[in-house]
Amino acid sequence: MTTLNLAIPAQLTLALVPDLILMGGAMVLLIWAAWRPDSDRHQRSVGLASMALAVITLVAVIVFVGAGYEAAPGPIAMDRFRWFMDVIILLGTVFAIALSMDDNGRTGILAAETHVLLLFASSGMMLLVAARDLIIVFLGIELMSISVYALAGMNRRSERSAEGALKYFLLGAFSTAFLLYGIALVYGATGTTNLALIGERTAVMNLVGSPLLITGIALMLIGFGFKVASVPFHMWAPDVYDGAPSPITAYMAATVKGAAFAAFIRVWLEAFPLSIVKWHPAVSALAIATMIVGNAVGLAQKNIKRMLAYSSIGHAGYLLVAIAAGTLQGSSAMLFYLLIYTLATFGAFAVIVIMSRDSEGIVMVEDLSGLWSVRPWLAFGMGVLMLALLGFPIFGGAGFFAKWYVLQAALDSPVPQTHLAVILVLTTVVSAGYYLYVVMVMFMRPRPENAPVPAASGAMSRAVLVASVAAILALGVLPDYFFRVARGGTPQAERVPSVTAELDRR
């Protein structure tokens, strides 16, 4: 096991090798993408190269895990939390590029730069989940966000896409201002932007009740609330998710949100563990509102993309419960939940890509009527994914265990979390109203006589769907092994006792 000194530039560069591989390769591919005229063949070639680069980066991450690198306290983390999240991010990147290769030809998006923008966004996410300094958190968010703003409006023939991209840009910039101002106030209170030093100085200088620090935490909470689409900061999500191309919607709903949550919990556990008595009520309130609103409004949706948009808001509420726990168990539960949610989301959007018939990619729930009779394996796959998102024990067992681990984290927390656990269970029951409705439509309603038979699925979309369903089924059978891996990936383990001690003292 090798410990790196991040004060030495060469060793800091070594700590960022996977990120640099992805960034450097993306720059080369950007030149290639812009070198030739737009065409479906060219965008597919760049897409294959982009997938290969993401896989190479994934191999580099695995090599780093096997090498057992660690780092002394510094601006970059070298823990398994970072590597586990990198795997989820790169998996989502490969899936998004694969779906885009099939979807772009149908929607008329021939710009090969689409795939390169996904790589740049993912490199920003990798930097974000590695950050142990608030300045690097901000840089990662900006690199990620600027790329995703462009991706959301890539379908230039669609007014809905342009409207969604504009809303995303304006509200995203607005939320970044809150986050940056919060960082400035935290720096003003503690004199540092390093997460570990913020936690230490909060204890040494007795800053738990500092108005400047509390205001900074509140503003940062608003900034992160926008990024993860929690209620009441969710207003941009339905229109943006509905207007963006389907693969990009999947990428935003799963990968972008996952990276934001990873940064969220690292900042909260490493920088503000002693301030839990101050921020816990606010995070709990956000979790409750997000779970209720996301699932309640999801019941009224007939457009599958909008339904999944509100579903993603509901899932953000479940993940906020893990943050509210304020423990490493909550961090582990979040990692496992994000893995399952990423697989299920991309699988569901693979079905949307396959079922889409026009450039807008609009698929209504009723379009799936009797799908079992004409595309049985497609209906089976969608059924498994809906059950996984619901958390149903049969077929969707992976989703069930993901929620079970979040519930355990809530109930075992030193802060009372019973009310959050009860609301999580009740809102999960509510979500059955739209997840099971999709299953019922596919398997129990007859296929209308004039309904067109879905076209043959593209090779890439089919591969994403098969991989997602197979992984969901496997994780439902062997969840403990992967949860133990996630348990090993937790930020700054030595900080948890200080949280409990602070709660006991107060």
**What DSSP assignment string belongs to 10-25?**
HHHHHHTHHHHHHHHH
- Please answer whether residues 258 and 99 qualify as being in contact, where contact means their C-beta atoms are separated by less than 8 angstroms: no
Over residues 465-494, the pLDDT tens digits come to 999 999 999 888 877 777 776 665 555 444
Which stretch of 274-283, 325-334, 352-361, 430-439 has the lowest confidence by average pLDDT?
352-361
With 0-12 / 13-18 / 19 or more C-beta atoms within 10 angstroms meaning exposed / middle / buried, residue 499 is buried
| 4 bridge partner residues | 71
- Please answer whether residues 194 and 178 qualify as being in contact, where contact means their C-beta atoms are separated by less than 8 angstroms: no
- Please answer whether residues 265 and 330 qualify as being in contact, where contact means their C-beta atoms are separated by less than 8 angstroms: yes
Nearest of 442, 418, 137 to residue 260 by alpha carbon: 137
pTM: 0.92
How far is CA 305 from its chain centroid? 17
pLDDT at 360 > cutoff 80:
no
Over residues 40-58, the pLDDT tens digits come to 888 899 999 999 999 999 9
Structure token pair of residue 194: 């390093």
Which stretch of 118-132, 161-175, 360-374 has the lowest confidence by average pLDDT?
360-374
Q: Residue 20 and residue 76: Cα distance in Å, rounded?
A: 13
Over residues 374-384, the pLDDT tens digits come to 888 989 999 99
Would you state the pLDDT for residue 361?
Answer: 63
Percent of residues, the chain, with pLDDT higher than 70: 94
For 121, the 3-state DSSP assignment is helix
pLDDT at 505 > cutoff 60:
no
More confident residue, 399 or 396: 399
Structure token pair of residue 293: 């609103």
Q: Residue 403 and residue 406: Cα distance in Å, rounded?
A: 5
pLDDT band per the 50, 70, 90 thresholds, residue 38: confident
Q: Residue 289 and residue 306: Cα distance in Å, rounded?
A: 19
Task: Supply the mean pLDDT for the chain.
Answer: 87
Q: Residue 319 and residue 224: Cα distance in Å, rounded?
A: 13
Q: What angle in degrees, to the nearest 10, is found between the helix axes of 328-355 and 304-325?
A: 170
User: Would you state the torsion angle of the CA atoms of residues 238, 243, 244, 246, taken in this order, to the nearest 10 degrees?
Assistant: 90
Structure token pair of residue 99: 């779906």
Percent of residues, the chain, with pLDDT higher than 90: 48
